[in-house]
Amino acid sequence: MFKWVVVILLIVVVSGLMQAKGSNPLRLGHLPGDLWFRFRGRAYHFPFTTTVLLSLLAWLILRSI
C-alpha cells in the first residue's frame, strides 16, 4: 500500500510542477515528439514523449521501492 501512496504523491507533485509558471525549465509538455496543432480554431495537445518519460520515471521509482 505504501508504494501506491508514493506513486500517487509523485503524480500529484509532477502535475503540479507542470502547471506552475516556474516549470518552463523542465519543458514537460514541450519535448520533441509532443504534438501541438490548431484545427478549426481549437488547440490540440498530444504529449506523447512527456507521457513516456513520466511513465518510465514512475516505473523506475516503483522498481526501487
* CA terminus-to-terminus distance, the chain: 11
Q: pLDDT digit string (tens) for 39-55?
A: 899 888 888 888 888 88
What does the alpha-carbon distance between residue 16 and residue 8 come to, in Å, rounded to a whole number?
12
pLDDT of residue 25: 66
Residues 18-39 have a mean pLDDT of 73
Return the C-alpha cell found at 50: 512527456
Cβ atoms of 55 and 10 within 8 Å: the answer is: no
Per-residue pLDDT for 5 more than 60? yes
Global pTM value? 0.57
Per-residue pLDDT for 64 more than 70? yes
Mean pLDDT of the chain: 79
Cβ atoms of 30 and 51 within 8 Å: the answer is: no
Per-residue pLDDT for 20 more than 60? no
